[in-house]
Amino acid sequence: MFTNQIHSQNKKKKMNTIQPPVAKIVPKKLEKHGNVRTDNYYWLNERENPEVIDYLNKENDYYNLSTVHTKEFQNNLFLEMKSRIKEDDSTVPYLYNGYWYITRFETGKDYPIYSRKKGSLDAKEEIMFDCNEMAKGQSYFNLSGINISEDNKYAAFGVDLVSRRQYTIQIKNLETGEILPVKIENTTGGSTWASDNKTLFYTRKDPQTLRSDKVYKHKLGNDTSKDEMIFHEKDDTFYTFIYKEKSKKYLIIGSTSTLTSEYQILEANNPDGNFRIFQPRVRELEYSISYYEGNFYIVTNADKATNFKLMKTAENATSKENWNDLIPHRKDVLIEGIEIFKDYLVIEERSNGLNKIQIKPWNGSGDYYLPFNSETYTCYTTSNVDFNTEILRYGYQSMATPSSVIDFNMKTKEKTILKEQEVLGGNFNKNNYTEERIWATAHDGTKIPMSIVYRNGMKKDGKNPLLLYAYGSYGSSMDPYFSSTRLSLLDRGFIYAIAHIRGGEDLGRDWYENGKLLKKKNTFTDFIDCSKYLIAEKYTSNKHLYAEGGSAGGLLMGAIVNMAPELYNGVIAQVPFVDVVTTMLDDSIPLTTGEYDEWGNPNEKKYYDYMLSYSPYDQVKEQDYPNMYVSTGLHDSQVQYWEPAKWVAKLRVMKTNNKQLFLDTNMDAGHGGASGRFEALKELAKEFAFLFDLENIKK
């Protein structure tokens, strides 16, 4: 105990001798609706300004010097987490159009190898892409959107070397190994082949806002300058994309915003024909379409079906007045999606916050659900690209159970576990951990579920360190999942919890609707109420409670440290969206216009006032703040680096205590962090070391 006190005192002395950088103040007046805000750090958005780069580097230096005593521990954590991962791993092969496709990793290598085998898994391996070779000399590398022509000869693929999600599409001849001299810049990375094997459709982005807004058609052998634009999505609140549905009969152009959908269809064997509207867009009408034997199946919220329903229409009569109910709306069941097979319809549902998978034979021989017993599980359909099969492939995991890939015979109801995630090292046993589903009561009486996991034998004495994670935006459900890296927390006495707060879709569509726009603050107060419940029930205390969130979850972190800083000893905010008002007023920034339906349009005063009342950057005030670790990427296209940079700069001069405040900027990466499967572990090791240092856990 005495040694720990000396260590703690020495650490404080060291921290006090290292002075954090102070960003210069350049006041900028921002006026809207008669309200004037002064932004002292607006200048930090000048990405090319050497002073900005210098400031970010100084923040990095401050973080590195302040945490130098944890560097060895960080490295040990990295090696520990890496040691649990099977390095020479591979995905479960799947059969598509006569070939088995496999993604595998080799020992000591960061990037995947994409390969295939013709006809049989015993056939010779054809390596399509070795990303380890392709990534040589690059500080960032990401390959995306591999798309094989129907004759199996060509593979289109996208490459991003910057981490701004602007991909260059190229084409490889899989028979000769030649990469064609085709480079299509500034795309989403995805593409789709027509049935003629020579026409490739793809989507380009607006170079400034990065909104995917134009669909093009490329003919093999032609210069890309001759590519024809076949659709331009001019509404800047929508983005567009193109794909081929599972039966391969139709090419489909989609246009979606937060609240509205529209699709266009064209026979894949007629690539030079004209796409036709499936159902014209109607504000707040959402739908998605799947094709099967002369009919389209539509998952939609039509007719006030808040939790969505399944409808059906003939392929030659696709407008809404022709749609007929197949599975009607249910108040307590959310339909999340469907999979169509030759003999079966599979429906993914969610009720009471849990995933369910329903099987419906087309011949009417009896519907049934896959059986699941746990209360903290996640199940989901995976690679089901084969239309003519009785096998449904799905995934299953829980907070204590590693993820499994399972083949289920929908006719015989037999299941085969093809693969369970291996946790190497010989120390892991899922029976050593306890999983719980607990419910906190929000300020308005709503019950908020939490999924929680910890090592057996935990005592509710308020002394346990606990990391509470949440997201809570865009209707994204945060399902309980297994993580081998999380074991580094659990095995050192941490409790890990996920708060399923409003703003996600965990308990249905209403759960989302009650955590967005003018009800956004429910997201923040739900998290705070979950925190208070965990403290009241003595899972932890405010001396040992930690919070974590990224992107829109980083907004959540920014809000809770303003609203209830006394509840947390430490907070991790990854690529946080914290300058809500300024960003949402700038329609040149990627994503802004497409997000009006999520946050509101601040050009309207009621939304401006509401956003301003919670925007973390605007609401920073003179008060004590928890210890904070904030991370970002210089090239982030989702949340611009200057949001966390400005936020930290303002916190430095406003906070009234001397607790830790770190800004750690990856100067080579973007929203998803570092590329390469092991580089990401180094970033995670930094976060864990931050927590362990605060808990005085040294190894």
443 assigned to active site: no
Known active-site residue 500: no
Torsion of CA 502, 508, 510, 514, to 10 degrees: 10
* Total residues belonging to the chain: 699
Q: How far is CA 160 from CA 202, 223, 253, 336, 512, in A?
A: 16, 21, 23, 30, 32
Among the listed residues 160, 636, 664, 693, the single catalytic one is: 636
What CA–CA distance (Å, rounded) separates 690 from 693?
5
Taking alpha carbons only, the member of 440, 337, 329 closest to residue 379 is 337
Distance CA 144, CA 251 (A): 20
Residue 41 gets the label, from left (phi > 0), alpha (psi -120 to 50) or beta, of alpha
Instruction: Reply yes or no on whether 110 is catalytic.
Output: no
129 close to 141: Cβ distance less than 8 angstroms: no
Which token pair is 453? 């996991």
Under DSSP, is residue 475 helix (H, G, I), strand (E, B) or coil? coil
What's the count of helices (H) and strands (E) in the chain, helices before strands?
A: 14, 37
Structure tokens at 527: 């998290």
Cα separation of the two ends of the chain: 16
DSSP-assigned beta bridge partners for residue 394: 381, 406
Rounded distance, CA 453 to CA 482, Å? 10
Cα gap 95→101, rounded to integer Å: 6
What span, in angstroms and rounded, lies between the C-alpha atoms of 26 and 103?
51
Contact of 165 with 140, CB cutoff 8 Å: no
Q: d(Cα 323, Cα 295) in Å, to the nearest integer?
A: 10
What would the 3-class secondary structure string for 505-569 be? CCCCHHHHHCCCHHHCHHHHHHHHHHHHHHHHCCCCCCCCEEEEEECHHHHHHHHHHHHCHHHCC
**Annotated catalytic residue, options 551, 615, 631, 637:** 551
Report the distance separating Cα 323 and Cα 302, nearest Å.
10
- List 632's β-bridge partners, or say none: 665
Which regions of 362-500 does DSSP assign to beta strands (E)? 368-369, 377-381, 391-398, 404-409, 415-420, 433-441, 447-455, 466-469, 495-499
Give per-residue burial for 235-259: e unless 16+ CB within 10 Å, then b. Answer: ebbbbbbbbbbbeebbbbbbbbbbe
- Of the residues 635, 671, 675, 693, only one is catalytic, namely 671
Reduced to 3 states (helix: H, G, I; strand: E, B; else coil), residue 601 is coil
Give catalytic residue positions.
551, 636, 671
